[in-house]
Structure 1
Amino acid sequence: MPAQALHTQNDPDVALQRLRERFRQVRATSEALCAPLAIEDYGIQGMPDASPPKWHLAHTTWFFETFLLLPYQPGYRTPDPRYDLLFNSYYLTHGQPFPRPQRGLLSRPTVAEVLNWRRVVNLAMEDLLDHPPPGKLETLCQRLELGLQHEQQHQELLLMDLLYNFSLNPLAPAYRDDLPAVSEQPPAPLRWHSHAGGLVEIGHAGDGFAFDCERPRHKVWLEPFRLASRPVSNADYLAFLLDGGYSRSELWLSDGWATLRQANWQAPLYWRHDEERGWREFTLTGLQPLNLSAPVCHLSFFEADAYARWADARLPSEAEWEAVAQTLPVSGHFLDAGLLRPQPSPGVPGTQPAQLFGDVWEWTASAFLPYPGFQPLGGSLGEYNGKFMCGQQVLRGGCCVTPPDHLRASYRNFFYPHMRWAFSGLRLARDETA
């Protein structure tokens, strides 16, 4: 997931106090997300891309230790220098990371030792913020904000990975069994909202935080287009499936068809079907009846693209998506709502597209590439985004497990086209002349 170009408030002291409070809240949230887990759950790694919960807790701690405490706190001593090898993710200019596919083999350090390391780092960070090094306050604030945004990314990843890990268990365990049921209200009819196109600006502007890949703000020419009023629902997608969507090669990109056949895809990742109980979906609340009204989730880019072609439509470009989204408030169903599942679209059609933010990440037709004039961060932090700008597709809008203060209209998430364990869905677009 993304990285950042950083800007602080004009008053560094005010920024520091705000960041201190955010630091406490973000660090506490990560541990609260792990509270429902049994000790056995902390070490599971169901596939190379899905890290164990213990690793997420440790890696986010490593980030603060590596990029803030060791450079700026001369008296700081790590509990174990070997943690630097185990919990570096992909920063090759910093050192050689432990192999990602083998993170589930790390029974040691124990969960208790990782939690103790978090406490050590938290206390050291409080001391650093009490006594920032002279002349380094602005840089300190920038790196602290980056570390907080990084940990929020891992909060979402932790829940994504837990869902995948639990899905492999025949017992279909629930991460939480005390969550409210998803509304069964029928979604609003799908309508189309027209946009005149023309010369628009996209990308982050101003002094607020943004990842480096969101900058610089720049102009893009758009032809007139239409954007669907809501995401594609489970009912919509089921119609595609029942119409032979997974057996019709003419609907699929060549790489997508090859992936489908190799992996034997027959439905979205967590859908299950049997004659007695019909369609069900594995969720963070366990195996549940498929809610036909909710947005379809856990699709690859290939599946989203094939559905759009079947629906006589296409995926929007990220510039089209942002041109609409930047006129709307960032509000929706996020992690703080505590629902942890996509919710149906409002039943009453509005004058603007609904659910652009929250519920499901929306695949776009755009490759994850640098904007004109892109400049990565300096040093090892420059590896955060730039080196991943090849072969990946952009998703927009956040989802039901994204922290709400982590999103903005310019935010660019990205995954490889075959990946589908994220909370990823789609929204249709059409050319205005179509």
Structure 2
Amino acid sequence: MDAARPPGPRGHWLLGNVADYDRDRIAFLRRNHREHGDVFSFDGRTVLTADPRLAHQVLTATNRDYVTEPPPFAGGVAPREADETVRSWMRARRVLRPALTGAAAAAPDARTVAILDDVLGRTAGRESDVLPLMLDVTGRAVAGLCLGPDAAGVPELLAEVHAALLPFEEAALRLPAWLPLPRTRRFLRAHRRLTGTLTALITARRATAPGHFPLPGPQPRDLLGVLLGARPALSDGEVAAALWSVLVGGHGVPAAALTSLVRELALRPELAAALAAEAGPPEQAPRAMLPLAEAVVRETLRLTPPAWTMSRIARVPAGLGPWRLRPGDEVLCTPYLIHRDPRWWPRAEEFDPSRWRDARPAPGTYLPFGAGPRYCLGSAPALRQLTLAASRLAQRFRVEAPGAAAAAPAFSGRLAPAGLRAAFHPR
């Protein structure tokens, strides 16, 4: 290996470290972190870092020295086109930010609780796979947030996209996009269906009364209305791309986090009882301030961050500590390792919500939503949604999951307990 590269495992002469990594991903990361330090090479083009300072450096230099990993089949694009894609997304982020922060983040509270009650209530206390239930909850919630009265059918399309993306998120070995694989065709079909639906909705909105579609009650306009009201105006393609990003990002990630929350509550009945006491009687509406529920969410995101690695690709020669990266080199920041490092977190492997009474994480040591200019746009509503859900779960349901302890987090795609099944008994 190039002397300028960080150390790393030698791997197989043909397959490199792919087989070893896929056999047990977290064991692979922990072993190499222990043997090679906070920065180590996976192969000739990929470097991993568990150094919070370097992770923060990489994430904050995104859009300048680094770009995010392209979606499947984005293909090779000219630098100028790639720059325009980034500028377009950042324009859309600036338009959407006021509708997703501050008081606006609390607007969907009643809808979130109603969806959770409906989805879990329909199980009637029967044992069910938890992740699909939570994907149903978050799919309906994010579709309503984005599209308001026009959300019908979109949660089902999101479920199709989620299933089509899983093989790509789980694969350590990237195959050429031109190979006519079944998973490729499946993803392209799902992509076309969701994009076509969004495009048709955008066209219909523009043809009637752009930007004036309030949701019932005190809620703000849906995000489609916000995007169509932007000045200077965004193109239909920019609006569709922004909606795609929010819909897909607001579907799988919070569903994985909710699944981890269910596991924690099932393992800790005394914690569930404390959350129920904080929430009040089951018939009581959700409270605005839920400090224990928020602490439980933050601690769950620390121990099981859904985005357990974050990929950035160097667009220019860049430094990573004492090493040099070439354009095209990939850096994987690893929140899972950082969040469990005893150098930054006392009793790092313990689930302890009380640490959040006084916790002020140093930059780079707590990354459930990333950092820098590509920090998760929906972090505020996501944290609030998860907090409300944790509180409501404890307030309205008794969670029973005999296999919770054995449902270890699956390190592929989004991090969530594998095969977790639970019964939600109404109180």
Q: TM-score, normalised by structure 2?
A: 0.21
Q: Which has the higher contact order (CA 8 A, sep 6+)?
A: 2
Q: Structure 1 length as normaliser, TM-score?
A: 0.21
